[in-house]
Amino acid sequence: MKQRVSLRTLALSSVLILITGCSKPEAQQATEAPAEVGVIVAQATPTSVATELPGRLEPYREAEVRARVAGIVTARLYEEGQDVTRGAALFQIDPAPLQAAYDSEAANLARAQANLSAAADKLRRYADLVSDRAISERDHAESVAQERQARAEVALARANLQSAKLKLDYARVTSPIDGRARRALVTEGALVGEGQATPLTVVQQIDPIYVNFAQPAAEVMQLQKQIRAGALEGVAPDQVRVRLLLPDGSEYGRGGTLSFADLAVDPGTDNVTMRALFENPGRDLLPGMYVRVRLEQAINRDTYLVPRNALLRNAEGAHVLAAGADGELKKIAVTAERLQGPNWIVTQGLAGGERIVVENAAHMAAGQKIKPVERAAPSAQAPAAGNPEAGVQARTSASGQKG
């Protein structure tokens, strides 16, 4: 009897142990709190609407240096590719024949001045004699004419001498502007200026420097429609900001200004020609270089900045995870235009106030519950003149898709 009781007691104990062992993890799971996860509250942030266009750099000023007198080039006086100042000597043309011509004209001037002196003396004498009726009026009139002719010959000789002096000075070819002198187009010993103004080199001023580009007329019209409809806010022409993307994909460190926008559409290309000006103190930008121009022409005040690690992508497109009032995550499809620093610029999908997961978003899924912990939201000041750190929304970028 005692043995039966012991066996029954042992069996009941085993069952209780099994029940207790199975129910303990379930109790722990039931009482386990949701994990704390950082979130930001979505809030509208104004960003610039930008269009990326192909462009080409052009010198601010360009002067073709030509020979203005005929002669033999005797020396090149500059290093090719060096910066020169206005008036700096670039080439020397043989001055010997020009010096001889100058000396000849100087002699002609001296002779004309001597003739004028003699004619003036004769006129003074005849003026006294004609008053005493010692000579005829005709002789006096002839002396007046001779003096005037001699004076004119002096003026002509002086002008010829000045012309000869200019030609002698032109034998030393100088730079007409400040800039960088390119390679020489002639060498010592070349005959230049014979019948035409021979090009010798080119001087280019590249600080500042222009970038020429064109925007399709259809894009301009679409932008104007959006501004008139109130979807975008227009920017004054003098406040339009321009950025350059270099051939290696990097952004040039200095912003530019829009200096010219044509008032007519090119009938051959259906584009509006534009030009922007950039400072180039380091000579990093070179004429002829192809670049991408980012033209910021309007402001969109209904965009949202979402940290890069908070934006997720799958086959359906871009989306974010947002925590509801009960902490349950839901997926929100968004359209992300482009990156602005560490943040995506989202133009569609958010209405403001959503609590977006910004920590470990890639390891979470819709339906999961969390305990939201609010973090500091990314911010950008409204784009305006004098505020280079404002956000930029690119119209031509395809970084995101509609989910």
Mean pLDDT by 10 residues, the chain (403 residues): 47 48 48 84 88 95 96 96 96 97 97 94 82 78 90 96 96 96 96 91 97 94 90 85 92 92 90 95 94 91 92 92 93 89 91 92 91 84 40 43 36
pLDDT of residue 359: 92
Decide if 59 contacts 206 (C-beta within 8 A).
yes
pLDDT of residue 194: 85
Decide if 332 contacts 376 (C-beta within 8 A).
no
Task: Give all domains of the chain, ordered by start, each with its CATH number.
Answer: 36-49+302-394 (2.40.420.20), 51-59+211-298 (2.40.30.170), 68-91+174-197 (2.40.50.100), 96-170 (1.10.287.470)
pTM of this prediction exceeds 0.75: no
- The CA distance from 156 to 164, in Å, is 12
Token pair belonging to 173? 């070819």
Name the helix (H) or strand (E) containing 206. Answer: strand 199-216
Where in 121-198 does DSSP place strands (E)? 172-174, 179-181, 191-192
- The CA distance from 9 to 19, in Å, is 15
